[in-house]
């Protein structure tokens, strides 16, 4: 079901008992899921949960214990809880995310398995739940796998464990399983969509109310449990300047779900991106789901505020949430603050496209995140990949994923980030054949850092084979907060001045690209990455942040902020 924060649920967050299983034997012969106890005088069991070993949920395991810092295997979690009161409904255990694999057991039965570290999943436990002493056991395994998404190499710290909220949700016998209530892409005064029940009974009445619009409608389900939504109303559209949201309530036979929904139109016309019919220039920043000061995965509402408020302070109207779906708090808080969002699945660099299961996994992740967030009007872009190298298998997979996204969510734009722009002298040419299937092209370029400037920044020529908008989805360089260049300006000094110079040059170039409709510096804040082993400056951190790992503002922050403050939507 979607929007669990719009329902009343019981949080299962808090301390969970844990067993660390480095060799991952608990799923095999050691059978930790059985939670066995010695039965007789001569019996013993060589594992046990207990109050001596606990971890907080939600929270990644790597940052909670020093001995787990670089741990990449299984941790077993156990939560015991009571469920007093009437049992006349249905019960579900909902996980916001478990990174990367979850195997879930409840009161001695296996509920299921989930692969993918950043999307929600749930299991029904109606027939298993008891008044007291319910036992929920989860194996969270974060081992890197070649045919995983992401694969075995990536430039971020991929915190493992039960990283998002866990909730026990109670519903009535019939409940609202899914809905889409959004602006009609073809009519700015029409709300369209559907409500879907967890039943295929026709003729069920669902009430939809939007008090501010004086909507109080009864919708009737068809034989698939769907009821259409179609309302003509004078609407205040959502914009970054006025992020208007309407309170909405759905009710079917006492099962209620509440939401706040905004209405906006997003589309592409030639090389422009139009928000509510007007060209918009995306003043963005890339964000990892990490709180640098804690060196831990971000997961809470207040973490979301920390990250999104920084973006707001920088002058952004847009964020690219890399490289995997972030938690719902982040998307919702951004929506309230008028920040448009690029969401991405971790189809990242060396992904194993030759393995046929990879496409299915990517599709599954896209389905899960689109289902979760398709009512969030600030989500304007679904990104299907970041920096993948062309091959027959890659091309086929990405083209199919792009088509699939369009089918699942026709009112939004599809994109991907590329790092293979063709260079000829000072000409930059967009050519990748997958670009043809996207609405917006993302380009990651590190001129001045990984590559030299091929020419004078203000004289570069960007050429595209496609009549489409482009976003520079990454650019930047590494520096340590406080490092000054003094006399020698060189990259290996990790100085703020060196990077400041890159930013000045990048901004000079932006003005020359006719089809540029947004930019996203890499990255909001320094972030942990096992890739980054330079012992004086990096120390396990990618230092391309506009902010340091303590949230201090580097020179590049001020350059970007001045650039954004000087921009008016639609021009750059």
In whole angstroms, the minimum distance from the beta carbon of 522 to ligand GCB comes to 6
In angstroms, what CA-CA distances link 469 with 349, 399, 547? 23, 18, 29
Rounded CA separation 143/198 (Å):
35
In whole angstroms, the minimum distance from the beta carbon of 547 to ligand GCB comes to 15
Which of 542, 545, 560, 564 binds ligand GCB (CB under 6 A)? It is 542
In whole angstroms, the minimum distance from the beta carbon of 154 to ligand GCB comes to 7
In whole angstroms, the minimum distance from the beta carbon of 433 to ligand GCB comes to 20
In whole angstroms, the minimum distance from the beta carbon of 473 to ligand GCB comes to 8
In whole angstroms, the minimum distance from the beta carbon of 346 to ligand GCB comes to 10
Which of 76, 522, 541, 563 binds ligand GCB (CB under 6 A)? It is 522
Rounded CA separation 331/378 (Å):
8
Write out the E strands in 233-270. 246-252, 255-261, 266-269
In angstroms, what CA-CA distances link 550 with 6, 220, 386, 547? 34, 54, 27, 7
Rounded CA separation 158/168 (Å):
26
In whole angstroms, the minimum distance from the beta carbon of 155 to ligand GCB comes to 4
* Total interface residues for ligand GCB by CB under 6 A: 10
Closer CB to ligand GCB, 167 or 419, in the complex: 419
* 323: preceding bond cis by omega (within 30 degrees): yes
Residue nearest to ligand GCB (CB): 155
User: Which residues lie closer than 8 Å to 211 by C-beta, 6 or more apart?
Assistant: 247
* Spacing of C-alpha 549 from chain mean position: 21
In whole angstroms, the minimum distance from the beta carbon of 544 to ligand GCB comes to 5
Binding mask 52-91 for ligand GCB (x = CB under 6 A): ----------------------------------------
Closer CB to ligand GCB, 56 or 531, in the complex: 531
Contact indicator for 192, 410 with CB cutoff of 8 Å:
no
User: Which residues lie closer than 8 Å to 458 by C-beta, 6 or more apart?
Assistant: 508, 509, 511, 512
Closer CB to ligand GCB, 324 or 329, in the complex: 324
Closer CB to ligand GCB, 266 or 311, in the complex: 311
Closer CB to ligand GCB, 155 or 259, in the complex: 155
* Spacing of C-alpha 231 from chain mean position: 31
Lay out the sheet containing 176-184: strands in order across: 176-184, 187-197, 226-232
Answer yes or no whether residue 419 interacts with ligand GCB by CB under 6 A: yes
Rounded CA separation 132/142 (Å):
31
User: Which residues lie closer than 8 Å to 558 by C-beta, 6 or more apart?
Assistant: none
Which of 13, 119, 386, 479 binds ligand GCB (CB under 6 A)? It is 386
- Each residue of 262-272: b (16+ CB within 10 Å) or e? bbbbbbbeebb
As a dihedral over the C-alpha atoms of residue 535, residue 536, residue 539, residue 541, rounded to 10 degrees, the angle is -130
Which of 60, 387, 409, 439 binds ligand GCB (CB under 6 A)? It is 387
User: Which residues lie closer than 8 Å to 84 by C-beta, 6 or more apart?
Assistant: 131, 132
In whole angstroms, the minimum distance from the beta carbon of 148 to ligand GCB comes to 16
Binding mask 302-331 for ligand GCB (x = CB under 6 A): ---------------------x--------
Closer CB to ligand GCB, 221 or 444, in the complex: 444
In angstroms, what CA-CA distances link 39 with 35, 42, 135? 12, 8, 19
Closer CB to ligand GCB, 289 or 474, in the complex: 474
Which of 376, 544, 554, 555 binds ligand GCB (CB under 6 A)? It is 544
Tokens of 99: 């990174």
Mind giving me the DSSP string for 71-99?
Answer: --SEEEEEEEE---S---SEEEEEES-EE
Binding mask 115-154 for ligand GCB (x = CB under 6 A): ----------------------------------------
Rounded CA separation 420/453 (Å):
15
Phi–psi pair at 99, nearest 5 degrees: -105, 115
Answer yes or no whether residue 444 interacts with ligand GCB by CB under 6 A: yes
Closer CB to ligand GCB, 7 or 544, in the complex: 544
In whole angstroms, the minimum distance from the beta carbon of 516 to ligand GCB comes to 18
Closer CB to ligand GCB, 409 or 549, in the complex: 549
Answer yes or no whether residue 289 interacts with ligand GCB by CB under 6 A: no
Closer CB to ligand GCB, 266 or 287, in the complex: 287
Contact indicator for 206, 284 with CB cutoff of 8 Å:
no
Closer CB to ligand GCB, 252 or 385, in the complex: 385
Strand partners of residue 183: 191
Closer CB to ligand GCB, 76 or 527, in the complex: 527
Binding mask 453-492 for ligand GCB (x = CB under 6 A): ---------------------x------------------
In whole angstroms, the minimum distance from the beta carbon of 344 to ligand GCB comes to 10
Closer CB to ligand GCB, 198 or 474, in the complex: 474
| Contact residues: ligand GCB, CB under 6 A | 155, 323, 386-387, 419, 444, 474, 522, 542, 544
């Amino acid at each position: 079901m979607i929007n669990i924060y719009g329902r009343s649920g019981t949080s299962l967050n808090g301390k969970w008992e844990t067993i660390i299983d480095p060799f991952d034997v608990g799923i095999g012969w050691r059978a930790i899921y059985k939670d066995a106890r010695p039965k007789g005088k001569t019996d013993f069991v060589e594992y046990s949960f207990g109050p001596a070993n606990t971890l907080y949920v939600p929270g990644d395991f790597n940052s909670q214990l020093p001995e787990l810092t670089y741990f990449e295997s299984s941790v077993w979690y156990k939560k015991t809880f009571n469920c007093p009161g009437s049992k006349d409904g249905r019960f579900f255990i909902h996980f916001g995310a478990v990174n990367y694999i979850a195997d879930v057991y409840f009161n001695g039965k296996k509920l299921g398995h989930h692969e993918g570290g950043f999307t929600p999943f749930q299991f029904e436990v109606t027939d298993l739940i008891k008044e007291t002493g319910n036992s929920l056991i989860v194996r969270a395994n974060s081992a890197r796998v070649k045919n995983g998404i992401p694969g075995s190499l990536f430039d971020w710290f991929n915190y493992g464990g039960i990283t998002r909220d866990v909730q026990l949700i109670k519903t009535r016998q019939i409940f609202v399983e899914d809905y889409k209530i959004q602006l009609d892409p073809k009519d700015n005064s029409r709300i369209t969509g559907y409500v879907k029940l967890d039943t295929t009974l026709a003729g069920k009445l669902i009430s939809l109310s939007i008090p501010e619009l004086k909507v109080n409608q009864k919708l009737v389900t068809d034989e698939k449990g769907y009821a259409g939504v179609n309302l003509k109303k004078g609407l205040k559209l959502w914009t970054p300047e006025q992020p208007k949201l309407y309170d909405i309530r759905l009710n079917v036979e006492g099962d209620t779900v509440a939401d706040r929904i905004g209405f906006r139109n997003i589309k592409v016309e030639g090389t422009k991106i139009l928000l509510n019919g007007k060209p918009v220039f995306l003043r963005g920043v890339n964000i990892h789901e990490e709180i640098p000061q804690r060196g831990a995965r971000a997961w809470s509402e207040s973490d979301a505020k920390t990250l999104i408020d920084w973006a707001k302070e920088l002058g952004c109207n847009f964020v690219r949430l890399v490289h995997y779906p972030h938690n719902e708090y982040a998307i919702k808080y951004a929506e309230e603050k008028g920040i448009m969002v690029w969401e991405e699945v971790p189809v990242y660099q060396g992904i194993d496209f030759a393995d046929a299961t990879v496409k299915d996994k990517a599709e599954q992740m896209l389905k899960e995140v689109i289902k979760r967030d398709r009512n969030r009007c600030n989500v304007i872009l679904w990104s299907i990949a970041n920096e993948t190298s062309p091959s027959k298998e890659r091309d086929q997979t990405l083209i199919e994923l792009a088509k699939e996204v369009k089918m699942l969510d026709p009112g939004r734009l599809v994109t991907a980030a590329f790092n293979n722009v063709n260079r000829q002298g000072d000409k930059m040419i967009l050519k990748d054949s997958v670009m043809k299937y996207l609405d917006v092209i993302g380009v990651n370029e590190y001129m001045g850092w990984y590559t030299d400037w091929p020419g004078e920044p203000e004289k570069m020529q960007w050429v595209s084979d496609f009549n489409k908008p482009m976003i520079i989805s990454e650019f930047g360089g590494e520096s340590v907060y406080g490092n000054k260049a003094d006399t020698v300006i060189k990259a290996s000094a990790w100085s703020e001045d060196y990077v400041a110079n890159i930013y000045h040059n990048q901004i000079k170039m932006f003005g020359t690209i006719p089809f540029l409709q947004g930019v996203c510096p890499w990255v909001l804040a320094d972030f942990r990455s096992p890739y980054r082993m330079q012992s004086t400056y990096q120390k396990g951190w990618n230092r391309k942040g506009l902010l340091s790992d303590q949230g201090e503002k580097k020179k590049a922050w001020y350059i970007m902020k001045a650039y954004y403050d000087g921009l008016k939507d639609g021009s750059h």
